[in-house]
Amino acid sequence: MSEGFLMEVCVDSVESAINAERGGAGRIELCSSLLEGGITPSIGLLQVVKENVQIPVYVMIRPRGGDFLYTDREVEVMRRDVELMKIHRADGLVLGALTEDGRVDAELCMELLAVCRPLPVTFHRAFDMVHDPSVALETLVSLGFERILTSGCDSSALEGLPLIKRLVEQAKGRIIIMPGGGITERNLQRILEGSGAQEFHCSARSGKDSAMKFRNSSVNMGASLSAPEYSLKVADVAKVRTLNAIAKNTL
C-alpha cells in the first residue's frame, strides 16, 4: 500500500483474497455471494483467509440479499455473526440498516456498533438507498462509523461522482468516504480526481473457467439469474496491480 491512498478489494474466496494482497490491496472486504452484492461469509472462509493474508480483513455482516430493513430475528443473526467474526479475528466489520422510509436506522446501528466494539465499522452501500444522503452522512458521523462505502446513490461510482464529491466535502475528514461500484482501470483516475477520495473499493475480477471435465449443462444450482455453473469470478492480480498503480500516480 502506498502512502496517501488505500485500495479495498471485495472478495468471496480465499484465492481472491490472496490475489488481492499480492496485487497490492491495502484491505479486504470479505463476503459471500458477490452476485447478491455480498452477504455474511462463513467462519471457515474467514479463518482460512486470515491464515493466508496479512492485510486487514473487514467482514460483511448482511444476513441476506435484498433490502436493508431487518426483522428482529434477522437482527439477532447479525448480532451473533458480529460476535463470531470478532472471536475469529476479523479486523473490522461492514454493515448497514435502514428504516422503512429510507433513513439510517440509527437505533439499530447504535445497538450493532456496541456489539462491534472495539473494531472499526464501515457503513456499506445501504447508504445508496437512503432518502437524503446529506442527512444520512451526519447520522453516521454521530454514530461513530469509520467510513461510508458509496456509489453516490447511483448505478456506479462514475455516475454518482458529483454526489461523492459533495459527500467528501461535507465529511471534512470526520468520516472516510470510499467510492465503490463499477470501478475499473478505465474510470479509476477520473473517480479519484473528481471526488477527492483517498480510499476506493473494487472487485478487480476476471472470469476463470471451472476445472470440471464432466459437465451437466441441463442443471443449474441457482435461480435463473445466477452465475454460470462452470465459470468462476476471481480477483485478478494483474487488475489489482494496475488499479494500484493508477491510484499511486493519481494521488
Q: What mean pLDDT is reported for the chain?
A: 94
The kind and range of the H/E element at 244 are: helix 237-250
pLDDT score at 224? 61
Q: What is the mean pLDDT of residues 229-244?
A: 92
Residue 2: pLDDT band by 50, 70, 90 thresholds? very low
Residues 6+ apart with CB under 8 A from 215: 229, 230
pLDDT score at 218? 80
Q: 23-59: b or e for each residue (b if 16 or more CB lie within 10 Å)? A: bbbbbbbbbbbbeebbbbbeeebbeebbeebebbbbb
In the predicted structure, residue 227 carries a pLDDT above the cut 80: no
**pLDDT tens digits, residue range 49-82?**
999 999 999 999 999 999 999 999 999 999 999 9
pLDDT score at 1? 37
Q: What is the mean pLDDT of residues 12-37?
A: 95
Q: What is the mean pLDDT of residues 93-114?
A: 98
Q: Exposed/middle/buried for 233, CB within 10 Å: 0-12, 13-18, 19+?
A: middle
